[in-house]
Structure 1
Amino acid sequence: MGKFLLSCKMAIQSIFLNRLRSFLTLLGVVIGVGAVVAAVGLAEGTTASITKEIENLGTNVVYVFIRPASKSEDISIDKFLDFARKNSDVILGVSPFIQYPGEALFKSKKEECQIVGATSEYMMVQGLSLSKGRFISPVDDDFRQKVAVIGSRIQSKLFGKQNPIGQEINVNGQVFKVIGVLKEKQGGRDNTVDDSIIVPVFVVNSLSAGEMALLKNFLVRTVSPDKNKEAKKRIKEFVSKFVKKEDNYSIYDMSELMSMLNRVTYFLMIILGGIATISLVVGGIGIMNIMLVSVTERTREIGIRKAVGAKRSDIRVQFLIESMVITGVGGIIGILLGFVVIAVGISRIPGVEPVYSLKWALVAFGISVLIGIVFGMLPAEKAARLNPIEALRYE
């Protein structure tokens, strides 16, 4: 133990004698470990955010996406609602919706938006809330009223500080009366609910053109999560009567969405981890080169140590410890750098939660130390095998 501590002390002294070289040597490890920590934080943060959004909808929700090949395969909303009523033993409620890009105008202001055709149940199923006004009512559905509920971003861009309730806006050439404003949900970003204008689904076809009017999406809330499988089975039987190709419709529940999300996250982490690993290997090669230079520079010192009784193992351990200390310190700095990137950069990305994974930080640190052992082995072995007489003569 005493020899090991002495070797550690000598290794640290050697590192501090060459501060600049030591810093440049560990820079590759710092970047590699920092990249690992930040990449994992980005992947896990994105997953956590999406998972929260999915969980907010509940586990007893089935998604149905239909894209008919022609008008003959079109499933009207009334037909689907009638199907849902006949299967009330497994289906609690349905919220049909149609979504596509559009353009909204108010006086001289124009803004790109997402037009969503929905019913009064859409707010409950999607977990939305209002900052002012009201949502679409069953009366609006029944009488095809041209009313609209706008997202927070649309309010900000078109109306500023002006109260939008009761104002009329032009949406794809049709005039709608604003009856409500949604609370900001996704950081006021484009292509989100904050960027949406929600209108009654039964009047939305007059706003769309061509095949866009045929698109149908349904959120189906089942009686309980254990009824999801049976509900999907019945929905598939119903939809397949109209839409012949399975490629033209999709039916998912929460478990399938979570499974797909986990697969995407897994592959994302593999890709990001591979990039970070390459950086660590490059850093390891740099360490090996610097350590080989260090062995050459300290040839006479090694000869003196061997002359006074140092064994090969003592020399080998000393150089390995130096390499491990460099990569270990680089690993610690890299972890801190990764956490800073998560706190300062990744946490500011809309829709991404800051996640600090201690497990992956420790894994990255362990890999950095392992890099030090692997790439420090050759220089350490070269130093240990030096002939003491030749080493003493070295100038």
Structure 2
Amino acid sequence: MEKFLLACKMAIQSIFLNRVRSFLTLLGVVIGVGAVVAAVGLAEGTTAGITKEIEKLGTNIVYVIINPASRSEDISVDEFLEFARKNSDVILGVSPFVQYPAQALFRGKKEECQVIGATAEYMMIQNLALSKGRFVSPVDSDFRQKVAVVGSRIQKKLFDNKNPVGNEINVNGQVFKVVGVLKEKQGSRDNTIDDSVIVPLFALNSMFAGDYALIKNFLVRTVSSEKNGEVKKRVKAYLSGIIKKEENYSVYDMSELMSALSRITYLLMIILGGIATISLVVGGIGIMNIMLVSVTERTREIGIRKAIGAKRSDIRVQFLIESMVITGVGGIIGILLGFLVIAVGISKIPGVEPVYSLKWAFVAFGISVLTGIIFGMLPAEKAARLNPIEALRYE
């Protein structure tokens, strides 16, 4: 232990005697470790952000998308609602919906939006809340009333944040009377419910080609997330009796979306981790080259130490410790740099949560120290094998 502590002391003294060289040596490790921490922060932050949004929507939602091969295989709104009523023990509510990109106009102002045709149940199923007015009612749907509920961003952009209830807006050439405003749900991001204009489902007949008595998209809210599996099973059994090919419809819930998201995140971490590993390898090569130069410069010092009794293992340990201290310090600075990138840069990306993973920070630090051991081995071995007589003669 005494020899080890002495070797540590000598290694640290050597590093401080060559501050500029030591800094340049650990720079590659700093960048590599910082990249690892930042990459993990980006991947996990993206996952956390999307998970947060999914939780806002609710985990007890099943999505049903139908793409029938023929009109005889299509399913009307009334037919699907009747199916839901028969399965009310597991289904809390159903909302058919359609959604298209559109342009909203009000007194010369234009704003890109998404127009959503939905029923009164859409509000409950999507966990929406109103800041002003009312939502689309069953009467609006039955009589195809030209009324609209606008998102918070549409209110800000078209109406300068003033109360729009009672005013008329033009959506893709059709005039709708605003009857309500949604509370802000997803902030400043584009293509969210805050950018939407919600109108009665069948009021879209005159806006787009197609028969909306045959809607192909349904949101099904289950009584609890534990019943999602049972609901999906029953919906699939119902659809399979009408639609011949299984690929012409899909039924999924949030758990499947989260599973797909986890796979994407894992792939993203592998790609970003690979890039960061390359940085560490480059840093390790730099360390090896600098340490080899250091061995050459300190040949006489090594000869003196061997002449007064130092063993090969003592010399080897000293150079390995130097390499480990350099990469260890570089690892700590890299972790701090990675956290700084997450705080200053990544956390500002819309939809990304700031995630500081201590587990991956320790892993990155361990990898940096391991890099020092691996790439410091050759210089340490070269120093240990120097002939003491030839080393003393070295000028």
**Secondary structure at the residue paired with 2:373?**
helix
Question: Do the aligned partners of 2:186 and 2:194 also contact (CA within 8 Å) in 1?
Answer: yes
- Match for residue 311 of structure 1? 311
Gaps of 5+ in 1: none
Identity, % of aligned positions: 83
Q: Distance in 1 between matches of 2:214 and 2:34?
A: 48
Q: Distance in 2 between matches of 1:272 and 1:341?
A: 15
Deviation at 1:245, TM superposition (A): 3.2
Q: TM-score, normalised by structure 2?
A: 0.94
Deviation at 1:288, TM superposition (A): 0.8
Question: Do the aligned partners of 1:303 and 1:391 also contact (CA within 8 Å) in 2?
Answer: yes
Q: Distance in 1 between matches of 2:236 and 2:96?
A: 16
Deviation at 1:259, TM superposition (A): 1.8
**Secondary structure at the residue paired with 2:95?**
strand
- Match for residue 43 of structure 2? 43
Q: Distance in 2 between matches of 1:206 and 1:319?
A: 80
Q: Distance in 2 between matches of 1:75 and 1:259?
A: 29
Deviation at 1:178, TM superposition (A): 1.4
Q: Distance in 2 between matches of 1:325 and 1:215?
A: 66
Deviation at 1:70, TM superposition (A): 4.8
**Secondary structure at the residue paired with 1:162?**
coil
**Secondary structure at the residue paired with 1:68?**
coil
Structure-to-structure mapping, 1:135-284, within 5 angstroms: 135-209=135-209, 216-284=216-284
Pair 1:148–1:65, CA change in 2 (3 A): same
Structure-to-structure mapping, 1:1-395, within 5 angstroms: 1-209=1-209, 216-395=216-395
Question: Do the aligned partners of 1:34 and 1:338 also contact (CA within 8 Å) in 2?
Answer: yes
Q: Distance in 2 between matches of 1:219 and 1:169?
A: 27
**Secondary structure at the residue paired with 1:166?**
coil
Question: Do the aligned partners of 2:320 and 2:373 also contact (CA within 8 Å) in 1?
Answer: yes
Deviation at 1:33, TM superposition (A): 0.9
Question: Do the aligned partners of 1:67 and 1:215 also contact (CA within 8 Å) in 2?
Answer: no
Q: Distance in 2 between matches of 1:283 and 1:136?
A: 61
Pair 1:209–1:284, CA change in 2 (3 A): farther
Q: Deviations over 1:65-121 (max 9, x none)?
A: 223345444322222112211222222211222112111111211121111111112
**AA partner of residue 158 (structure 1):** L
Q: Deviations over 1:12-56 (max 9, x none)?
A: 121122222211111111111111111111111121222222233
Deviation at 1:132, TM superposition (A): 2.3
Q: Distance in 2 between matches of 1:373 and 1:90?
A: 60
Q: CA RMSD in A?
A: 2.0
Q: Deviations over 1:338-360 (max 9, x none)?
A: 11111111111111111111111
Q: Distance in 1 between matches of 2:22 and 2:210?
A: 66
Question: Do the aligned partners of 1:152 and 1:188 also contact (CA within 8 Å) in 2?
Answer: no
Q: Deviations over 1:353-383 (max 9, x none)?
A: 1111111110111111001101110110011
**Secondary structure at the residue paired with 1:391?**
helix
**Secondary structure at the residue paired with 2:132?**
strand
Deviation at 1:130, TM superposition (A): 2.2
**AA partner of residue 27 (structure 2):** L
Deviates more, 1:109-118 or 1:224-233: 224-233
Aligned residue pair count: 395
Q: Distance in 1 between matches of 2:175 and 2:353?
A: 38
Q: Distance in 1 between matches of 2:12 and 2:384?
A: 19
Q: Distance in 2 between matches of 1:45 and 1:212?
A: 39
Question: Do the aligned partners of 1:153 and 1:189 also contact (CA within 8 Å) in 2?
Answer: no
Question: Do the aligned partners of 2:332 and 2:365 also contact (CA within 8 Å) in 1?
Answer: yes
**Secondary structure at the residue paired with 1:78?**
helix
